[in-house]
């Protein structure tokens, strides 16, 4: 019986030891190296934010363009450097032809057309071409190459040339206009709707300065488009219905043939446009010292100067905006791998309980010259509150975001600066703790504990009573009944 009691007590002891492993302090105590005390609990690592006063460029406050809408964009990154009512809907006039020409050039790039392919002009050539609109007198039945028609559309701004391109690309003007709107949607031109190929005024034909910048950035990716819009002139050979045509660029930033006094040495395009409803408009581009800018000016006026000459603000304001961009902005480094974000806790290792974290890579942005990246906010965010060993040097553990007020300039990954080995003992103990922390395991252990306690109590209460009761019955009159011992 004593042997049975010892076995039962051993079972109870083992059960209590198992339950004790689920306590947080048990793992910490067992994990401590010999001869040392268990380390104090390290608080979880949360985002560390460098809070600095929001800065704003005085250059942006002081700049104003004499037009109803304007925008300046870095062509390489799409960074908006200047925005003046750039998301307000306006009439684009002949800047529409950028989309028409781009779709034709994209068809050429896909191999569906070629520049030297001869087109026979259809009956839709004068579709929606109003009286007094820009034209090169292209006639039904006339034969021209695709290249000739592109130059007529972009250099001389011929409205009927756009209808010719529409038919050769899509089969009809209506189908082509659908394609124009589809491509606009793909480019993110959310506030644009086309109803014709050339921009002759229609109340339902509209866009924004911002949308035009998106369209121009895409068009300028094509070498054929860039070649055409930087050309000062072009000769269309004589056709079956027309003598030789000499075309001259309408953009005074590129060519001085039509208008003098506005030539801009860095100009590389793009397209003029004007109607009474749209005002005088210009989408322009320029390159200087490896920087490519795109400017859009909509709804400018042409006021008279005191000397009686005309101030063509679509050109003067565009060149002023481009100059301002080149002189007022530069590419600055916002963040690189020298940025140290601090440390993050590490578990399951005897080597260390924390590890350093730093940025990896490099982040640059085009900024006004009067802004200092040192004044921007850096916000590190970790993927987890702690890391489990093993940790590999260069392992991504989070990211750091660079912002200035509401403007986010980008982010870099945060990586571990060293490697950390895992302790197998701590790893196994952690597995045991995880096992016993499961709800179903706890329930089973509790049930077993209750069962053992019930059995023990039953044995203590009833087993002893049966034993001694039997002994009393066996002893009668001062001696035991039954067989005598020898």
**Whole-number Å distance between alpha carbons of 365 and 289:** 16
Q: In sequence order, what are the beta bridge partners of 297?
A: 70, 282
Peptide bond into 390 cis (omega under 30): yes
Is residue 157 annotated as part of the catalytic site, yes or no? yes
**Whole-number Å distance between alpha carbons of 63 and 320:** 10
**Whole-number Å distance between alpha carbons of 372 and 117:** 54
Is residue 133 annotated as part of the catalytic site, yes or no? no
Please report, in angstroms and rounded to a whole number, the separation of the first and last CA atoms in the chain.
25
Q: Which residues contact 61 (CB under 8 A, 6 or more apart)?
A: none
**Whole-number Å distance between alpha carbons of 102 and 169:** 11
**Whole-number Å distance between alpha carbons of 343 and 43:** 12
Q: Which of 7, 30, 134, 157 is catalytic?
A: 157
Nearest CA to 401 among 341, 471, 326?
341
Nearest CA to 159 among 207, 219, 97?
97
Q: Which of 94, 134, 213, 255 is catalytic?
A: 94
Is residue 97 annotated as part of the catalytic site, yes or no? yes
The bridge status of strand 245-248 relative to strand 233-236 is: antiparallel
Nearest CA to 409 among 464, 334, 340?
334
Nearest CA to 227 among 269, 263, 180?
269
Inter-residue contact 47 to 379 (CB < 8 Å): yes
What are the tokens at 124? Answer: 């839709």
**Whole-number Å distance between alpha carbons of 194 and 196:** 6
Cα 135 → chain centroid: 42
What are the tokens at 55? Answer: 């800065």
**Whole-number Å distance between alpha carbons of 26 and 286:** 70
| Three-state secondary structure call for residue 478 | coil
Q: Which of 97, 255, 271, 285 is catalytic?
A: 97
Q: Which residues contact 198 (CB under 8 A, 6 or more apart)?
A: 94, 96, 97, 100, 128, 129, 133, 153, 159, 160, 162, 163
Count of Cβ atoms closer than 10 Å to residue 264 Cβ: 19
Residues carrying an active site annotation: 94, 97, 157
């Amino acid at each position: 019986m004593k042997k049975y009691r010892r076995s039962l007590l051993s079972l109870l002891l083992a059960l209590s030891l198992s339950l004790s492993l689920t306590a947080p302090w048990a793992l910490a105590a067992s994990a401590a190296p010999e001869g040392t005390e268990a380390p104090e609990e390290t608080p979880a690592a949360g985002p560390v934010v460098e809070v600095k006063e929001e800065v704003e460029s005085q250059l942006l406050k002081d700049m104003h363009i004499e037009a109803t809408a304007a925008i300046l964009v870095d062509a390489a990154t799409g960074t908006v450097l200047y925005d003046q009512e750039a998301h307000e809907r306006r009439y684009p006039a002949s800047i529409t032809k950028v989309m028409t020409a781009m779709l034709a050039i994209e068809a050429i790039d896909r191999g569906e057309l070629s520049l030297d392919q001869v087109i026979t002009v259809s009956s839709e050539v004068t579709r929606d071409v109003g009286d007094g609109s820009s034209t090169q007198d292209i006639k039904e039945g006339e034969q021209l190459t695709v290249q000739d028609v592109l130059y007529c559309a972009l250099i001389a701004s011929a409205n009927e040339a756009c209808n010719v391109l529409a038919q050769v690309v899509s089969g009809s003007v209506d189908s082509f206009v659908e394609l124009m709107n589809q491509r606009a949607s793909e480019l993110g031109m959310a506030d644009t709707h086309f109803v014709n190929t050339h921009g002759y005024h229609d109340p339902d034909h509209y866009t924004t300065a911002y949308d035009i910048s998106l369209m121009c950035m895409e068009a300028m990716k094509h070498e054929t488009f860039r070649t055409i819009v930087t050309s000062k002139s072009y000769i269309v050979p004589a056709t079956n219905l027309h003598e030789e045509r000499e075309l001259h660029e309408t953009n005074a930033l590129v060519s001085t043939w039509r208008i003098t006094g506005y030539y801009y040495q860095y100009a590389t395009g793009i397209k003029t446009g004007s109607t009474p409803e749209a005002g005088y408009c210009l989408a322009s581009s320029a390159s200087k010292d490896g920087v490519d800018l795109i400017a859009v000016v909509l709804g400018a006026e042409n006021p008279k100067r005191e000397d009686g000459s005309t101030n063509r603000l679509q050109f003067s304001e565009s060149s002023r905006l481009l100059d301002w961009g080149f002189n007022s902005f530069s590419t600055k480094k916002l963040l690189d791998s020298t940025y140290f974000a601090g440390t993050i806790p590490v578990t399951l290792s005897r080597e260390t309980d924390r590890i350093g974290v730093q940025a990896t890579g490099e982040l640059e942005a085009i900024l006004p010259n009067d802004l200092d990246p040192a004044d921007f906010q850096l916000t590190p965010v970790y993927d987890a509150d702690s890391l489990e060993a093993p940790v590999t040097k260069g392992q991504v553990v989070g990211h750091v975001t660079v912002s200035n007020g509401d403007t986010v300039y980008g982010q870099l990954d945060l990586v571990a600066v060293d490697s950390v080995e895992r302790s197998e003992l701590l790893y196994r103990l952690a597995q045991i703790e995880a096992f016993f922390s499961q709800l179903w395991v706890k329930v089973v252990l509790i049930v077993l504990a209750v069962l053992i306690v019930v059995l023990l109590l039953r044995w203590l209460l009833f087993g002893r009573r049966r034993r001694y009761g039997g002994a009393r019955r066996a002893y009668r009159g001062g001696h035991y009944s039954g067989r005598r011992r020898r």
